[in-house]
Amino acid sequence: MRVLVCVKRVPFTGGKMVLAADSMALETKHLGFTISPHEECGVEEAVRLIEANGGESVVLTLGPAEAVEQLRDAMALGIDRAIHLRTDGSEWDPDATAAVIVDAIRTDESATGLFDLIVFGSESADSGGYQVGLRVAHALGRPAVTGLKGVKPEGGSVRCEQEVEGGRDVYVVPMPAVVTVKEGLNLPRYPSVPGRMRAGRKPVATSAPARPAARLELVRLVVPPGQGRRAEVLGSGAAAAPAVVDMLRKIGVV
Amino acid sequence: MDQSKASMETLTLARRFGGPVHSVRIDAIEPFAPDAVAAILALVADNLNASAVFAAGTDRGNDVMARLAARTGQPFAANCVDAEPGSPVSVTRFRWGGSLLESALLHSPRPLITVAPNTFSAEAEPAPIEVDVKPFVAQLDETDLVVRVSDHIDTAGGRVSLAEAKVVVSGGRGVGSKEGFAIIEELAGLLGAAVGCSRVVTSAGWRPHTDQVGQTGTKIAPDLYIACGISGATQHMAGCKAAKRILAINSDAEAPIMLNADYAVVGDLREIVPAISAELRKSR
Amino acid sequence: MRRTSGAGHSTVSDPPTHARAVVIGCGIVGNSVAYHLCRLGWRDVVLLDKGPLPNPGGSTGHASNFIYLVDHSKEMTALTVDSVDQYREMGVFTQSGGIEVARTKERMQELTRRMSSAASWGIEPVSLISPAEVKELVPFIDESIIRGGFYTPGVGVVDSLRAGTIMRERAQASGALQVIANTEVIAIDVEHGRVRCVRTTAGEIAAETVVISCGVWSPRVARMAGAHIPLTPAVHQMIDVGPVPRFAGAKGDIEVPIVRDMDTNMYERQAGGDLEIGSYAHRPILYDPEDIPPIERAALSPTEFPFTQPDFEVQMQHALELMPEIVGDEKVGVKYAINGILSLTPDGMPVLGESPDVRGLWSAAAVWVKEGPGTGKALAEWMVHGESEIDLHSSDIARFHEHQKTRAHVRARAAEGFNKTYGIVHPSEQWASNRNVRLAPFHERERLLEAMFFEAAGWERPMWYESNSRLLEEFGDRITRRTSEWESRWWSPIINAEHLAMRERAGLFDLSAFTIFDIIGPGALESVQKVTLRQMEVPVGRNVYTPVLSPNGGFKSDLTVMRLGDDHFRVVTGGAAGMSDKKWFADHLAADGTAQLFDLTSAMTTVGLWGPRAREILASTTGDDVTNDGFKFGSCRTIDVGTVRVLASRISYVGDLGWELYVPIEQGMRLWDMLWEAGRPFGLAACGIGVYGTTGRLEKCYRAHGNELETEYNVVEAGMQAPRVKSEDFVGKEAHLRHRDEEPAAVLCTLTVDDHTSKSGEKRYMLGREPILTRDGKPVADRRGRHSYVTSAGAGPSVGKHILMAYLPPEQAVLGERLAVQYMGERYPVTVAVVGSTPLFDPENARVRS
């Protein structure tokens, strides 16, 4: 089996959002970076699929030179190799992102064969566009199912469980296919030290595609108003319990 | 689409673009097949010569609109909270689950927009209005039916569902351990509340992911949200900010959650939560 | 691992308008200072933090919290041991034992030095153990890659946050302390050089005493008052791996000894079900306090920065080598990884004491968890009693010279020191960074003489001159050669050759590193009397060597004072202690403002000229009377040397006839050249500080501050009491009078080594700080529990012996007493050669008076 998982490097945010001077990005001076959460589960799923079925897993990202850290993180978990589409760090819209990923997949597949599954996150933590996976699927002419909490290959098909209100809808689609997954699909493992060490030796194929013009064009970011209200302090420590119960009564919860 | 709150919000935003607003309701495709819905939407939009297409920013709304976007080669802005007509169209949309807003331009003859749920109040039309129902029959390609719901698993158990609970009691890093959740469950039991948690907790394996409140977990809108030992990282606040009231119990009086809470108790949750439970029992 | 304490929150409240003292920062040291101030009787103490309690977000909150007891620094060991006592008393210490393992032969030798330091500072039990014994204690270690370990059973882990809470709560319970969390200091008001008020986000607190215990933020807070705390935030990388199958079901935080993998600059410790791996091996990663995010913007705590994996690659390999069973387990994951921020200083020691920049502003910074409570206690004693029980001179904030406060210097030295955290550091090891800061006016001449420069207070001082290697031949067998690499490092036999040339003919010394300041004014005499043991009311033109005492009668310093006029005294002291001495004098100037202190360090330079031919050399350059009758020992006056007016002071630290010659710095080169020319016919040799600081003074049994002279020993013990005590009041007088009446607990003795031959047949030479034992290897300690150790060691070329100094209990302080010194794991026989201060060489002191 061959699985490709596409990930995005995003800041690991703290409590308060602060924008860079040009308001075009988050100020990340004090922040670390991580693989966007849904995609962490995508990586874990890809690793498990290959552990169970054999084959090859590949991770791909579109991002700045530093995004190689996230590729190494994925490889530390067991992904075999990486494709890095390097940018200058500026914003790419979903349309453009999908286009260069499609090109990269075609190039890779022409050399190594089709990916049975291409895994995306449902949406990225930062820009939340909900569409790159579906655009890639359409361009490649492959079926796509979104928002999955269960992915199970069955013969030439994949059984997909999508979380909906009150339960899960099941889709069974033929492979090769594209899936977008959500956190909760699995509990990603921590990288082992040997895994980390192996990751440093695994191959990363890097290219730097040109950025097409944006059609969903970021103008600026804004921190929404409404933060900064001050909580009414009901007390300190266990002594505050009566005041809490009074409040619960007042608002009708008790 | 149905007359849900999300749809009403969508209509409200769509009306700002002037002209007639056509509401598309697709009931021939059952069980659900998202490519088929996208195909029909594409035809309808052409047929009506629509100047924009709106949908609710639900999972399905975003799914179908993304497929429509791919199919028509148009840009798509998901989870918008505002849109101004023009060329290009200006939108304001969610980033970081709503912790940040993005002003963006949609360069498209037919912009595709979904509307973030629970973000503004739907305006009522000076009702009642005459509804002109136009039936539409589409020819569907077989390939548009490859992706189609084939089964449904009911997972709702006896427990209070996190998404629908009126009260949610949540625990974060400050709870300290898997076992530490006993006091959270006790309080939730007394209040008839659902138990929630932060992402740190599920990552540590203390609670299942289904309990997670947050940008990548469940987004909730209860009457009261009790956050115990949760600092209030953006990831978490994105999931609970729709709560009517928030009570934060935290040892850190300056934790970000305090800036979003209505009520606060400062101190060690391991003392405070059992004390509240005891007080509730006493008052019965 | 981020450990939150089980502590309840402390009562927090709004600030008062006045406080006896405001302590800023609720890390381990701030809590400790506040607690001990209250314990010592201060009331109305306020403890502030901008963060929440119990973990306000500083370095204490992410510390690995383990404590090793033995350090080569006596001061650091004392602070650590006292801290452990306090942690134990609070019930937050879990003893686990700790092993420092060696992968190399050099490290095994270093571990024998640690055994020596343990014995010198009285730490027991400790032992050197074999790889198999290490394996028994730490079953998951690969013992095949190590050569042995240094085992300290008393090593343990503390809950530092809980300790902080306990100390706060105790002080609060006494009613003496008010704790205010979540309140940031925004300004510190200073009037007339003294702290007046702390402005916070919650209001102003008037206070004349403020303690900055803000960890990595300390420089920023100090700057609010216009003061300097020279430290830099730096990264210490730490990862936590687990779950470790072997630790499944662990009942406590730690049950297995902590391992320090010294050769890779790493440590591994059990943390519950996980293993924590820390490193000081990565490239130094330094920040500025301004780089630390505000609390609300930090993803974790403000001092837990995102982990930088590429800096940890080699360390993973090293951890895997040592503990393959755990680290190599594919199921054991890296659960947590941070770049923890901690404080580094330019010399590796804390920054303690009252700022020389602002009165009433105290620093308790660059203190780690292991020494936190002890340091807090010592600082509180210093604040309340004017002196701490543990001598803190190596940590004194006043020790820094101006250039040492610059950002560039702090960063250069912190970066250089970081990778030496577990390093094998030779006692004479020189810094490589930021050298050539202070150069003598005749530096160029010294360079041409191929000086080997050592640094003192930023000054480049010749330790010896390679050009003098020709003297080796001349003195032949009288010069002891060293074959061992360790003792040959940072040393040359040329030092001994220069010594002999000085003793036989004359030597020219660069003494530029002296700190020189004048006390001038009608109140000058009173001011100088106040801080000196010896009588300062002497005729103009006299110089007086005097101890400077601490309030308890220990040695604060020792220095020379010249009376240049009725109201004019010139103080000359060493470079290392110069700045703290200057603060000490400044602090004791006459309260009515009738005396002032002027620093002349950078205005004057000093050349020493000593040896039997010194008079002839000097006489050949001057028409002034420099005969023994015309220029007596112990006098000073200005003479002409060619066209240079020179303040000549007849005094000697090497025990030979001669003068210290003081001139304006720009004429230093001229003076040097004239003396050099004049000395040629007399066989004058340029002599390095090796002669001045070691061989010359040791033969004369002259004491040195920081070696023999510390606040922990008194004048009588050092054998330096004068027949009479001056009637004038001075700091430490009461204690000194008491010391004169009691039997000393120890007596400073000079010992010589009887046999240098090691088991391997190689001759070995002690370098100092080694323990003195009985011949059969038993420890020697005085009735106050102080163990005897070598305070100074060095060659005595004129007496043909290797000389050691040590305080011995009266029973052993007997001429001819046969004892032993432990060095590199072996014992060598030594004999007490002098009890008290009689010189070994020229006991009649005929030479200096000739």
**Interface mutation vs chain A, best among C182, C317, C330, most A CBs within 10 Å:** C330
In percent, how much of chain B has pLDDT > 90?
Answer: 57
Parallel, antiparallel or unpaired: strands C515-520 and C568-573: antiparallel
CB pairs under 8 A between A and B: 265
**Interface mutation vs chain B, best among C1, C165, C182, most B CBs within 10 Å:** C182
Residue C106, token pair as written in the block: 């050099």
Residue C40, token pair as written in the block: 């010592």
Given a contact cutoff of 8 angstroms between Cβ atoms, the answer to whether C376 and C32 are in contact is: yes
- Backbone torsions φ then ψ of C289, nearest 5 degrees: -55, -30
Identify the pLDDT of residue B1. 39
Q: What is the CATH number of domain C515-600?
A: 3.30.70.1400
The verdict on B132 touching A (C-beta cutoff 8 Å) is: no
- Domain extent, residue A59, equals 2-250
Identify the pLDDT of residue B124. 59
Chain-centre distance of CA C297, in angstroms?
A: 38
Report, as ranges of residue numbers, the positions in chain C whose pLDDT lies below 50.
1-11
- The residues, any chain, with a CB within 8 Å of residue A146's CB and separated by 6 or more, are A122, A130, A133, A134, A162, A179, A180, B34, B59, B63, B66
CA distance C272 to C785: 37
Identify the pLDDT of residue A230. 73
Burial category of C844 from C-beta neighbours within 10 Å (exposed 0-12, middle 13-18, buried 19 and up): exposed
CA distance C32 to C85: 13
C236 is catalytic: yes
Say yes or no to pLDDT of B138 above 90: no
Contact A238 B233 (CB under 8 A): no
Measured in angstroms, the CA of B272 and the nearest CA of chain A are apart by: 4
Identify the pLDDT of residue B241. 84
Measured in angstroms, the CA of C792 and the nearest CA of chain A are apart by: 47
- Beta bridge partners of residue C807, listed in sequence order: C748
Identify the pLDDT of residue C182. 86
Given a contact cutoff of 8 angstroms between Cβ atoms, the answer to whether C773 and C119 are in contact is: yes
Identify the pLDDT of residue A98. 98
CA dihedral sign of residues A172, A177, A183, A184:
positive
Q: Give me the domains of chain B, ranges plus CATH numbers.
A: 5-145 (3.40.50.620), 167-282 (3.40.50.1220)
CB pairs under 8 A between A and C: 71
Identify the pLDDT of residue C202. 93
Identify the pLDDT of residue C742. 96
CATH number at residue A123: 3.40.50.620
CA distance C374 to C382: 12
The B-side interface with C (CB below 8 A) comprises 173-174, 176, 233, 251-256, 266-268, 270-271
pLDDT single digits (tens) B70-88: 999 999 999 999 999 998 9
Identify the pLDDT of residue C2. 30
pLDDT single digits (tens) A111-138: 999 999 999 999 999 999 999 999 999 9
Residue C546, token pair as written in the block: 């005097």
The candidate with the shortest Cα–Cα distance to C745, out of C702, C807, C806, C838, is C807
pLDDT single digits (tens) A45-98: 999 999 999 999 999 999 999 999 999 999 999 999 999 999 999 999 999 999
CA dihedral sign of residues C539, C540, C542, C544:
positive
The verdict on A32 touching B (C-beta cutoff 8 Å) is: no
Task: Give B251's pLDDT tier (boundaries 50, 70, 90).
Answer: confident
Identify the pLDDT of residue A106. 98
pLDDT single digits (tens) C36-92: 999 999 999 999 999 888 889 999 999 999 999 999 999 999 999 999 999 999 999
Q: What is the CATH number of domain C743-835?
A: 2.40.30.110
CA distances from C338 to A31, A76, B163, C159, C664 (A): 12, 17, 34, 19, 54
The verdict on C48 touching B (C-beta cutoff 8 Å) is: no
Given a contact cutoff of 8 angstroms between Cβ atoms, the answer to whether B209 and B226 are in contact is: no
DSSP state of A138: H
Measured in angstroms, the CA of A169 and the nearest CA of chain C are apart by: 33
Q: Where in chain C is the domain with CATH 2.40.30.110?
A: 743-835
Say yes or no to pLDDT of B2 above 70: no
Residue C458, token pair as written in the block: 């930023």
Most confident of the ranges A220-229, B122-131, C666-675: C666-675
- Backbone torsions φ then ψ of C331, nearest 5 degrees: -90, -10
Identify the pLDDT of residue C446. 98
Task: Give B253's pLDDT tier (boundaries 50, 70, 90).
Answer: confident
Q: How many structural domains are present in chain A?
A: 1
Say yes or no to pLDDT of A228 above 70: no
CA distance A122 to B58: 12
CB atoms within 10 A of CB C774: 14
CA distance C449 to C441: 15
Identify the pLDDT of residue C797. 97
Quote the pTM value: 0.91
Q: Where in chain C is the domain with CATH 3.30.1360.120?
A: 443-474+487-512+605-697
* Active-site entry in C253, C391, C518, C558: C558
Chain B residues with CB under 8 Å of C51 CB are 252, 254
Say yes or no to pLDDT of B131 above 70: no
Dihedral over alpha carbons C836, C838, C840, C842 (to 10 degrees)? 180
Q: Which CATH architecture has domain C93-156+233-342?
A: 2-Layer Sandwich (3.30)
Nearest chain B alpha carbon to A15 = B233
Helix (H) or strand (E) holding C497: helix C494-504
Q: Read out DSSP for C683-694?
A: TEEEE-HIIIII
Query: Out of 3.40.630.30, 3.30.1360.120, 3.40.50.300, 3.90.1170.50, which CATH number does the structure's domain C443-474+487-512+605-697 have?
Result: 3.30.1360.120
C267 is catalytic: yes
**Interface mutation vs chain C, best among B175, B252, B273, most C CBs within 10 Å:** B252
Q: Supply the ipTM of this predicted assembly.
A: 0.94
What average pLDDT score do residues B170-178 get? 93
DSSP state of C397: G
Contact C328 A194 (CB under 8 A): yes
- Backbone torsions φ then ψ of B57, nearest 5 degrees: -85, 50
- Backbone torsions φ then ψ of A131, nearest 5 degrees: -150, -15
Contact A134 B66 (CB under 8 A): yes
